Structures are given as structure tokens and as C-alpha cells.
Structure 1
Amino acid sequence: MSGKVGDEAAKFDPRNHSFGPSHYFEDLKVGQRFYVNSRTQTDALFAAFQLASGDNHPIHYDRVYCQARGHRDMLAHGLQVTIQAAAGAGIFPHVVGDSLIGFIEQSSRLLRPVYVGDTLFPMLEISELRPGRTTGVVVVKITIHNQDGTLVMDGEHKYLVKKRPQA
């Protein structure tokens, strides 16, 4: 080993700095799960969502207003809850890698309130694989539970993914 910095730089290829090889539509299985890190909904996240969305309704940003209406604290906006299941916050887009064409559809049902201080635990699970000629649609069931194990949101994401190229 020469220890020269130039030797190491010559061996390094940034194209190889990745999660691993891309998985194609055929590599995915119904029931396959993709973990997304839990996240506590802090005052800072509420403020960041308000800034990004422009939503300034007091039910999301005024504790006194919320408590006067029977809520224990500020109520998270439904879209703030929905984004906690963003696939990019987990490993799914790294697993499919370059075969991912795009995120094409989403739906969600907001089942229970989420308040500042709640910790949310999102999970993505492949529920259906719809093959096409050169691509396929990967349907992913989304669930988000809070710290008490209560399901606060469920829904679906759909992704367009390439099939394995023919040799």
C-alpha cells in the first residue's frame, strides 16, 4: 500500500456509491414491507408545514384556540400526517433505484387526530403488482400508527417501475 491519496481517488467511482443494485418490477413481491423511521411531530414540524403549505388556520397553530374546541393540543394538518409516509424517508426508493420512473398516485384516510408531541410510525407494504409491457405499477399500502398503537392514517401509493431490460 503506497498510501498516496491519488491511488485511492483512482479506484473510487461515485456511480458505485449507492444502496445496491436496482430492483426491477419482477424482483418485487406482494407483502414486501418497507420501514420508514418514526418521527415525533414537534412544534418545529408544525411551523415548517405552515411555512411550506401557507395554511394558517388556528386549529393547527394556536393552542388556546384548539383547547377551547376540545383538543388536547394543536391538531396536525392532514397533509402533514400524510407526508410522514413519504417513501423517500425510507428505503423503498433505494431498493428500486434506477428502475423507479415515478410516484403516480396517492390516497389517504385520516382516521384519528394527530397532535403536537405524537410520534408516528409509518409502514409501506406492497399490496399489488400490476404488470405492463415494459413497466409495472407497484401498489403500496400505507399505514401510520401513533405511539399508542392507534392507526391514525391508512392509504395507498402507486409507483411506476421499469421491468428488467431484455438481454
Structure 2
Amino acid sequence: MADASDRPFDPADHRFGPTHWFEDLQLGQKFYINSRTQTEAMFAAFQSASGDNHPIHYNREYCKARGHRDLLAHGLQVAIQGAAGGGIFPHFIGDSLIGFLEQSSRFLKPVYCGDTLYPMLEVSKLQAGRTTGVVTMKLTIHNQAGMLVCDGQHKYLVRKRPQ
């Protein structure tokens, strides 16, 4: 009798687990995203990717002269910490994910270089269609002091279980 180690490797089997479908999701279900410390390298990478060269994000003396304790993170730099791919959600739903439809963000407190951010997505609404559904997720991002620095929502289009 052959065991699993005798079968040839199949990249399709290299995954988080089985696909979960729209019907498998529940209101209040939470999807953890790894915490990340906002380093100087992240500020520089965001500046390079966005083209935003305002000194409030990259010049410490400019920031201090305006009452900030360090470099001030761009709002979008904070919002991207909630990217679902940084956590387990897209791996949990696997092949049922069709796409990311929209997002919104509110920036509630300043985020500085050296702050550690703790993002979380929570299912807040499920809208079923005929073969798909829209999953609305509440985004929260807290800092190391437990302050809510950003919130918003994401919407994803997800397949229903095949008949």
C-alpha cells in the first residue's frame, strides 16, 4: 500500500486547506492579519511606490517643527496594512475568491515611524446572489497602545458552493 509520500508532488495540493465558499462564512467571523512595525524602510518603499514626496512623511526635522514626534505615515500606507493577503482570509476561501471590489478607510489617529499596527478583518455583511455573494468586512487597525488608528471596510466577490 502506497502512502502520501509515494505520490508525485502536485502544486495544487500546496495550500492552506480546502476552499471555503460564500455559504461557509458567518457574520462576526474574524480574519487575523499579522502585526507590522512601520519602519523607515516601509516609509521609503511607500514613497517610492506612491510618488508622494511631501516632507511630513520623510523629513524628521519638518515633522518635529510641526509638533509630530517622528515621521508621520501617509494614510494609504496605514490602510494597506489591512490588505487581506497579509492574513488568512484569501487562503481560507481559496478558489472561491473572485475579486476585491472596493475599500474605504478613515484615519482616526496619527501613525508614526516605529509604531506597530494590528489589523483585523471581520465579516459584517453577507449579500447572496445567484452564484456568488458579496462579503463586506469591517477593517480595524489598532496601534501598540491599543488605540484605533484606522477603520473602514472591504468588499469581496466570492463564489457560492458549486451545485
2:26 aligned residue: 29
2:46 to 45, 49, 54: 49
Superposition pairs of residues 97-136 of structure 1, within 5 angstroms: 97-136=94-133
Residue deviations 1:17-57, cap 9 Å, x none?
Answer: 11111100000000100000100000000000000000000
Q: Distance in 1 between matches of 2:162 and 2:151?
A: 34
TM-score if structure 1 supplies the norm length?
A: 0.93
CA apart distance, 1:153: 0.3
Q: Tell me the TM-score normalized by structure 2.
A: 0.96
Aligned residues: 161
Q: What is the CA RMSD across the aligned residues, in angstroms?
A: 1.4
Give the equivalent residue in structure 1 for 2:77.
Answer: 80
User: AA paired with 2:125?
Assistant: E
> Aligned-pair distance for 1:14?
1.5
Q: Which position in structure 2 is the counterpart of 1:138?
A: 135
Q: Which amino acid aligns with 1:158?
A: K
- The alignment status of 1:159 with 2:163, answered yes or no, reads no
1:131 partner amino acid: A
Deviation at residue 11 of structure 1 after TM alignment: 2.7
Distance in 1 (alpha carbons) for counterparts of 2:72 and 2:6: 51
2:11 is matched with 14
Please tell me the residue identity of whatever aligns with 2:16. Answer: F
Give me the identity figure in percent. 73
Q: Any idea what SS the aligned residue of 1:11 has?
A: coil
Structure 1 unaligned blocks of 5 or more: 1-6
How many angstroms apart in 2 are the aligned matches of 1:80 and 1:39?
12
Between structure 1 and structure 2, the one with the greater Rg is 1
